[in-house]
Amino acid sequence: MYKVFVNDKPLFLTNEISKETDFQLFLLESIDIEQLIIKIFQNKIQKAILYHPDESEMMKTLKAKIPVNKAGGGFVYNKKGEVLFIFRNGKWDLPKGGIEKGEDIETTAMREVEEETGVNKLRITNKLQKTYHIFKRNGKYKLKITHWFEMFSDFEGTPHGQLEEGIEKVAWLNPEQIKEALKNSYENIKLLFEEEKPIAKIASTVPYQSDRNSNS
């Protein structure tokens, strides 16, 4: 099953159908995906399920119906076990951005973290899950697939936001601050914390091992 967010509303891709649900059900194979997205953005549909009998074909079928943007992002720790956040468009977020020609996705993730926050000395310590959301750019709806990586940084300077990307603030947040920040964040970011790093574990989890060289 995949969870895709459209205007922060859930759109599930699944090969199972539950009889007891308040989600509207559509067939992925035949749905006009743009019309469905428009209705979700217009708040005419709050929650939806796209059904496909073959789980291995679900994402491939969706990608055939909508342009895809590939992005990389960082779930970055410092020595104190704090996590690096950015504040943009009135919400707390994690640093991420689109892949550039010739890059591998790990390089994209580290480059975007450094460009958006000024934090360097990054080491990738683990590959996390992907998140999916649909956005509109230049009049067209697109599916953004973000590959997330757990990172560690020895950076000791002052982070600074990339102004041309509209980043107003960059901050290292401790577990209590993260709880508050997630109340004003995006659903895919909340999902990342729920599934990968429960808040209670953050303070005691500081990764030291790395499978990549430092990026300074």
Residues 80-92 have pLDDT tens digits of 999 999 999 999 9
Measured CA distances, 207 to 17, 30, 52, 189 (Å): 40, 45, 39, 20
Hey, what are 139's tokens? 């009049």
**pLDDT given for residue 17 in this prediction:** 81
Domain identity same for 74 and 56: no
**pLDDT given for residue 198 in this prediction:** 43
Report the pLDDT averaged over residues 9-17: 91
Domain identity same for 151 and 78: yes
Range of the domain at 21: 2-63
161: in domain: yes
Res. 210: pLDDT tops 80: no
pTM, 2 dp: 0.86
Binning pLDDT at 50, 70 and 90, where does residue 197 land? Answer: low
**pLDDT given for residue 18 in this prediction:** 75
Binning pLDDT at 50, 70 and 90, where does residue 205 land? Answer: very low
In this structure, which amino acid lies at residue 148? W
Percent of the chain with pLDDT over 90: 78
Question: Which residues have a Cβ under 8 Å from the Cβ of 26 and sit 6 or more positions away?
Answer: 36, 48, 49, 50, 51
Which of 63, 79, 108 delimits the end of a domain?
63
211: in domain: no
CATH number of the domain that 126 lies in? 3.90.79.10
Whether residue 214 contacts residue 121, with contact meaning beta carbons closer than 8 Å, is answered with yes
Which residue, 57, 54, 49, 59, is CA-closest to 15? 54
Tens digit of pLDDT for each residue in 114-157?
Answer: 999 999 999 999 999 999 999 998 889 999 999 999 999 999 99
Between these two residues, 53 and 214, which has the higher pLDDT value? 53
Domain identity same for 53 and 83: no
172: in domain: yes
How much is the mean pLDDT over the chain? 89
Domain identity same for 79 and 175: yes
Domain identity same for 121 and 188: yes
**pLDDT given for residue 194 in this prediction:** 85
Res. 216: pLDDT tops 90: no
134: in domain: yes
Report the pLDDT averaged over residues 53-68: 95
Res. 199: pLDDT tops 80: no
209: in domain: no
Res. 45: pLDDT tops 80: yes
Binning pLDDT at 50, 70 and 90, where does residue 183 land? Answer: very high
Hey, what are 185's tokens? 């964040």
Q: 92 phi and psi, to 5 degrees? A: -80, 140
In this structure, which amino acid lies at residue 210? S
Q: Indicate the number of domains in the chain.
A: 2
Measured CA distances, 110 to 192, 212, 215 (Å): 18, 11, 7
